[in-house]
Amino acid sequence: MNFTRMMSLIAKELNKTSETQVDMALTMKMATQIELWSKMFQNKAFWLNRNVKSCNLSAAIASEIARLVTLELKSEISGSPRAEYLQKPYAKMLKDIRRYVEYGCAKGGLVFKPYVTEQGISIQFIQADAFFPISFDDSGNIIRCVFAEQMRKGQSIFTRLEDHELKGDKLRITNHAYRSTTDATLGTEIPVQSVQEWSRLEYEVIFSGVAKVPFSYFKVPLANADDTDSPLGCSVYSRAVDLIREADIRYSQISWEYEAKEAAVHIGESMLQDDPNDKSKKLYPHGKDRLYRPLTFDTGARDKPLMDTFSPDIRSDPLFQGLNSQLKLIEFNCSLAYGTISDPQNVDKTAEEIKSSKQRSYTLVSDTQMALQDALTDLIDAIDFYCSIYNLCPYGSFDVSFDWDDSIVVDAEKERLQDMQEVREGLMPKWKYKVKWQGLTEKQAKAELAAEESQGIDFPGDE
């Protein structure tokens, strides 16, 4: 699916059926950037060719940030039979969350979209180059969005556009299906149920009393320098596109340096035997045809010797130093600590600069964790919405807990001891300590404390 082309086709289709002009929140400028970030992540950036190879920095950066963000993430829904039902699809989703957060970090955003199946609730992950935000409210929440799905069957291309629109407290979801033989158009509209894979879908569903759309949007918490008016998230490497391009060029120069100066022996053709099976080829000593380069030498006193070794020095040190300097610039612009992708043994920085770079990385990771927590909270609300609409489980309240690992910068044990000291001095409630360090909800922590006090069990650190 070509993202920018699909955006144009969707805009055209929306305006065909709307009485008023539909202006998409997703601009062509932003769509072009998302397409670029996606290509970079897939190692298909426009500057790559026979002479410029990729060192795969984009995927490495997104992967590292996703790893730090989801490192030892623990989250649980508890407190009632309804919570147990919600927990099943939620826990299944969390098992694979790092991979999808990586896609979100690379492309600027990710949608978590629950849907009802015969087995219960499933969760679909929709990447930034497969959904098309139409409008946002004043708080930056999506209130209309189109999801595109395509499949090929023989010579036919089937496209489904799922339109979610929230007006007031009414949510309208419509499914439009199209059949075409070319990517250039959506083609002819057909009944959505005429396609076997979509046969269980309704053309239109309307819900009342809805506060927000039944999906969640995770976006990277960075200011959008590519389109300052866009409410969409941007890639974690959006500020380093040109730097990554230059790094690929320098990496390719190093590869060429090794290839161009590979050891060789220039040997006169007259010293080689003809291949008995193919007179146009020569037989090389011990089959080492890569080492020998046959040349035609004229005989004579002034000619070069019939065998000459080619083994020039490789300028590896200055080339690697140049690449390493470029990698440090990329680290700075992507809020990574020095030594993350550059050579950690060659970090020529003061202790204060290194500490500052770690704090910069921690800030990005912490902000991204909070953005992901907001998205997961909205996802739970969306699952709860479908449970209520389709009466999938008994009603009931529930608690949600999140436990994020911050040991990338903070000495966790030192902080825990400090918090325990604050508990002793009455500066921190005991239940807050349990919530922070034992991953309990507030309700669970207070219940445990009450049980311990009734049994005469002292809190750790109590005199």
Query: In this structure, what CATH number is given to the domain that contains residue 183?
Result: 2.20.130
318 band by pLDDT with thresholds 50, 70 and 90: confident
Q: Which of 227-231, 277-281, 367-371 has the lowest mean pLDDT?
A: 277-281
pLDDT higher than threshold 80 for residue 385: yes
- Average of per-residue pLDDT across 62-83: 93
pLDDT higher than threshold 50 for residue 301: no
My answer on whether 247 and 341 are in the same domain is: yes
> Collapsing DSSP states into helix, strand and coil, what is residue 439?
coil
Closest by Cα among 96, 77, 89 to 116: 89
Total domain count, the chain: 4
- Average of per-residue pLDDT across 226-240: 93
- Position 294 scores a pLDDT of 55
| Eight-class DSSP state of 304 | P
Q: What angle do CA 32, 35, 41 make, to 5 degrees?
A: 145
My answer on whether 115 and 40 are in the same domain is: yes
My answer on whether 309 and 222 are in the same domain is: no
> Collapsing DSSP states into helix, strand and coil, what is residue 357?
helix
My answer on whether 81 and 96 are in the same domain is: yes
How do residues 177-189 score in pLDDT, each as one tens digit?
999 999 889 999 9
The residue among 313, 346, 379 that closes a domain is 346
The residue among 375, 392, 409 that closes a domain is 409
My answer on whether 187 and 129 are in the same domain is: no
251 band by pLDDT with thresholds 50, 70 and 90: very high
- Position 204 scores a pLDDT of 93
pLDDT higher than threshold 60 for residue 121: yes
441 band by pLDDT with thresholds 50, 70 and 90: confident
Q: What percent of the chain has pLDDT over 70?
A: 81
Decide: 419 and 428 in contact? Cβ < 8 Å.
yes
pLDDT higher than threshold 50 for residue 463: no
Range of the domain at 309: 242-346
My answer on whether 316 and 256 are in the same domain is: yes
My answer on whether 56 and 153 are in the same domain is: no
Report in angstroms the alpha-carbon separations of 161 from 203, 284, 451: 11, 63, 54
Q: Which of 92-106, 150-164, 309-323 has the lowest mean pLDDT?
A: 309-323
Greater model confidence, 318 or 285: 318
Helices (H), 192-350: 241-260, 316-333
- Position 372 scores a pLDDT of 97
Q: Which of 177-181, 187-191, 306-310, 315-319 has the lowest mean pLDDT?
A: 306-310
Mean pLDDT estimate for the chain: 85
Closest by Cα among 216, 223, 221 to 97: 216
Greater model confidence, 146 or 282: 146
My answer on whether 281 and 322 are in the same domain is: yes
pLDDT higher than threshold 70 for residue 171: yes
pLDDT higher than threshold 50 for residue 291: yes
Decide: 114 and 383 in contact? Cβ < 8 Å.
yes
Q: Which of 88-97, 280-289, 328-337 has the lowest mean pLDDT?
A: 280-289
Task: Tell me phi and psi for residue 235, to 5 degrees.
Answer: -60, 150
**Strand 204-207 versus strand 188-190 pairing type:** unpaired
- Average of per-residue pLDDT across 383-394: 92
Greater model confidence, 143 or 17: 143
* pTM over 0.85, yes/no: no
- Average of per-residue pLDDT across 239-249: 96
- Average of per-residue pLDDT across 112-122: 92
Decide: 246 and 233 in contact? Cβ < 8 Å.
no
My answer on whether 252 and 336 are in the same domain is: yes
pLDDT higher than threshold 70 for residue 81: yes
- Average of per-residue pLDDT across 20-41: 89
My answer on whether 2 and 47 are in the same domain is: yes
My answer on whether 336 and 247 are in the same domain is: yes
Greater model confidence, 119 or 77: 77
Decide: 66 and 57 in contact? Cβ < 8 Å.
no
pLDDT higher than threshold 60 for residue 289: no
Task: Tell me phi and psi for residue 290, to 5 degrees.
Answer: -70, -30
- Position 330 scores a pLDDT of 96
- Average of per-residue pLDDT across 174-203: 92
- Average of per-residue pLDDT across 207-228: 93
- Position 106 scores a pLDDT of 97
pLDDT higher than threshold 70 for residue 280: no
Q: What angle do CA 245, 36, 319 make, to 5 degrees?
A: 10
Q: How far apart are alpha carbons 33 and 234 in whole angstroms?
A: 9
Greater model confidence, 313 or 307: 313
pLDDT higher than threshold 90 for residue 347: no
> Collapsing DSSP states into helix, strand and coil, what is residue 157?
strand
pLDDT higher than threshold 70 for residue 443: yes
| Eight-class DSSP state of 347 | -
pLDDT higher than threshold 70 for residue 381: yes
My answer on whether 74 and 12 are in the same domain is: yes
